[in-house]
Amino acid sequence: MAWHDVIEAPTLRAQESPLESARFGCSVERLTVSAASETPLVAVREAILGSTADVVILRYPAERIGWFAPLTGLGRTAVFADSLVYWRLSAGRGRAPAPSHELSVTAAPGIAAVEALVADIFSAYGCHYLANPLFDPAQALAGYQEWALRSVAEDGCLALRGPDGNGSSLLAFATLDEDADRSEILLAGVVPAQQGRGLYAHLLKAVEDRTLARDAREVVISTQGHNTRVQRAWARYGFEPVQTLLTVHLVRSPLLHGQG
C-alpha cells in the first residue's frame, strides 16, 4: 500500500476495491488506519459494521495490539493475514555495491517479459491474500502482474540486465511509485536462478540513483513481516525500519462455510 495511506494519512481511509472484487469474485473493501492517525477502535468498528462488502481488508498499526480480539465479535470471521513492514532509506546514504561492468540498468521490458518476471519471482511469495480461503492464489499472482504493468505504463519500472543486453539476460526488476519527495518500491526482486549473487543490492542502487537524479529525498519499501530474508538485505544496504501494520481480513462468515 502507498506510503501516505499507511504512514501519513490523518484519518481512517475506507475505499472500495473494484479490481480485487472483480479478480476474486466477491466484493472487497479496504480500511486503513495510518501510523499518524488517532482513529479510535470505535470508529473502525462502526465502519466494519456499516460495510456491505464480503471481505473487509483492514490494516492498522501493530502497536494497537489489543484491537484484534474485539474485531472477532463483529459478526464476521476475522482472518489474521500477517503484517506489513515498512522501511526507508535517505537517498544518497545507501551502502551501494561496487559497480559492475557486466550489469546495466534499462527501462521496463515488454508486457510479456514483465508478466514472466513477476510469475518467476513472486509465484511462491506468501502475500496476505493466501491467508483467505476465498482468494485463489493464481488470481493473487495475476493481480501482482497487473500491478506491475500499471507501473510500466506510468514509466515507473526499471530492469537489471546481464552483459549481452537481450531479453534472456533479464536478472531483476523493480516497479516504483514516485512523487516529489520519495520513490516507493512496489515490487522488486531477482529471478530465482540468479539469486545469491548480490544482484539485489545493485537493483536497490539503481532505484537510489534514479531517486537522486530527480532530487527526491528518500526510498521506501515494504513487505510481509515473515519475509525476513529481504529485510536483512535492506538492513545491509542501509534501510531502517519505520512501521509495522497488522492485516486482518474480516469475512462474511457464511462465505467461508459455503452458504453464499
With beta carbons less than 8 A apart as the criterion, state whether 199 and 172 touch.
Answer: yes
Mean pLDDT, range 63-89, rounded to an integer: 97
Q: What pLDDT, on the 0 to 100 scale, is given for residue 257? A: 78
Mean pLDDT, range 150-155, rounded to an integer: 94
User: Which stretch, 3-12, 129-138, 163-172, 250-259, has highest mean pLDDT?
Assistant: 129-138
Domains identified in the chain and CATH numbers: 3-85+245-256 (no CATH), 90-241 (3.40.630.30)
Grid coordinates belonging to 116: 514472466
Q: Give the containing element (helix H, strand E) for 223.
A: strand 218-224
| pLDDT tens-place string over residues 36-64 | 999 999 999 999 999 999 999 999 999 99
| pLDDT tens-place string over residues 240-256 | 999 999 999 999 999 98
Q: What pLDDT, on the 0 to 100 scale, is given for residue 107? A: 86
Q: How far apart are CA 146 and CA 111, in angstroms?
A: 10
121 has a pLDDT exceeding 80: yes
Mean pLDDT, range 166-174, rounded to an integer: 79
pLDDT band of residue 169 (cuts 50, 70, 90) is: confident
| pLDDT tens-place string over residues 183-199 | 999 999 999 999 999 99
Q: What is the CA radius of gyration of the chain?
A: 19
The sheet with strand 28-32 has its strands ordered as 13-16, 28-32, 55-61, 240-252, 76-90, 218-224, 182-190, 170-178, 157-161, 104-107
Scanning the structure block, which residue is given the C-alpha cell 506489513? 84
Q: How far apart are CA 252 and CA 260, in angstroms?
A: 9
How many distinct helices (H) and strands (E) make up the chain? 9, 10
Q: How far apart are CA 2 and CA 218, in angstroms?
A: 14
Share of the chain above pLDDT 90, in %: 90
Q: What pLDDT, on the 0 to 100 scale, is given for residue 259? A: 52
Alpha helices by DSSP H, the chain? 3, 18-24, 41-50, 68-71, 111-122, 137-153, 199-213, 228-237, 253-256
74 has a pLDDT exceeding 80: yes
159 has a pLDDT exceeding 80: yes
Q: How far apart are CA 7 and CA 32, in angstroms?
A: 10
pLDDT band of residue 167 (cuts 50, 70, 90) is: very low
215 Cα distance to chain centroid: 24
- Non-local (6+) Cβ contacts of 78 within 8 A are 68, 71, 72, 248, 249, 250
